[in-house]
Amino acid sequence: MERAFWLTAPGHCEIRPVDLPRPGPDDVLVRTLYSGVSRGTESLVFRGGVPASQHEVMRAPFQEGDFPAPVKYGYLNVGVVEEGPAHLRGRTVFCLYPHQTRYVVPATAVTPVPDTVPPERAVLTGTVETAVNAVWDAAPLVGDRIAVVGAGMVGASVATVLAGFPATRVQLVDVDPRRAAVAEAVGVEFATPETAAPDCDLVIHASASDAGLRRSLELLAVEGTVIELSWYGDRPVSVPLGEWFHSRRLTLRASQVGMVSPAQRGRRGYAERLAVAMNLLVDPGFDALVTNECRFDELPVVLPGLISDEPSALCLRVTYDST
């Protein structure tokens, strides 16, 4: 009998048994090796903070149940194909699947993990895909002065992608000075909101806070742009559209992974974007984004504490004992 992690009610979770269907000729049976908790999004789901208007938009590809609960939610899963087409059998793959010991999905839903990417790092693929889309939306230029405000999973992933741009100044900005170690690991500068360099051409905001958004706008040079990556759920947000917003002709633009960026939509699809993210994970700097680990059986105990008590946590990697 297989098992899956469910949110039974806001703030409450458990592991439930699962009966798997038999794989069809175009399906794969995957045994999970690792899954990852995307702390920002899954925290919002955990507390029941998905607005009713966004219940359909926020559905994960293989979600079961409905918001607010009971719901089986998650989208960072790495496993081994035990049954399926010959070219996939025995391969390590990534899938946008919740936390579950084994699962059956169409073969087209899995992406092989390159031999150059460790499976334990590949759990970050979905988050790095979000970062890739954000960078496509931001369209940075050579020599740009860039700040990434909010050093959570998404912000740190964006900073890691931007670290390779030539002649750019990239600062990772966070209120927690412990995130300086993450910035060092991914190869960018670190600053607190008070010490961040001004006159930015581009700011990518991922702190999910009013204060972070305000500071992002303050850091812009004339005609600069903030790319808003934060997902606030049902929380109202105060945006300072007075002060410098009009006189500096600033731009505030949303980015969201549900659609491929217009900058690439005519040339790249979802599978190609995911492949770009997977190739970026060759960089060992991404290992700094995994700050906690637990066994699958421990997840109902570990996850509530991590969400409420550990603000410095990034990705929680879940290991599986299934054989």
Q: What is the pLDDT of residue 246?
A: 93
Q: What is the pLDDT of residue 233?
A: 79
Q: What is the pLDDT of residue 193?
A: 97
User: What mean pLDDT is predicted for residues 230-237?
Assistant: 84
Q: What is the pLDDT of residue 172?
A: 98
Q: What is the pLDDT of residue 41?
A: 80
pLDDT of residue 12 exceeding 80, the answer is yes
35-65 tens-digit pLDDT: 999 877 888 898 888 889 889 988 999 999 9
pLDDT of residue 170 exceeding 80, the answer is yes
74-131 tens-digit pLDDT: 999 999 999 999 999 999 999 999 999 999 999 999 999 999 999 999 999 999 999 9
Class for the domain spanning 2-124+281-319: alpha beta
117-145 tens-digit pLDDT: 999 999 999 999 999 999 999 999 999 99
260-285 tens-digit pLDDT: 999 999 889 898 999 999 999 999 99
Q: Which CATH superfamily is domain 130-254 in?
A: NAD(P)-binding Rossmann-like Domain (3.40.50.720)
SS3 readout for the chain: CEEEEEEEECCEEEEEEECCCCCCCCEEEEEEEEEEECHHHHHHHHCCCCCHHHCCCCCCCCCEECCCCCEECCCCEEEEEEECCCCCCCCEEEECCCCECEEEEEHHHEEECCCCCCHHHHCCHHHHHHHHHHHHHHCCCCCCEEEEECCCHHHHHHHHHHCCCCCCEEEEECCCHHHHHHHHHHCCEEECCCCCCCCEEEEEECCCCHHHHHHHHHCEEEEEEEEECCCCCCCCCCCCCCCCCCCCCCEEEECCCCCCCCCCCCCCCHHHHHHHHHHHCCCHHHHHHEEEEEEHHHHHHHHHHHHHHCCCCCEEEEECCCC
191-233 tens-digit pLDDT: 999 999 999 999 999 999 999 999 999 999 999 999 999 988 7
pLDDT of residue 308 exceeding 90, the answer is no
Q: What is the pLDDT of residue 68?
A: 94
pLDDT of residue 309 exceeding 60, the answer is no
Q: Enumerate the domain spans of the chain.
A: 2-124+281-319, 130-254
pLDDT of residue 312 exceeding 70, the answer is no
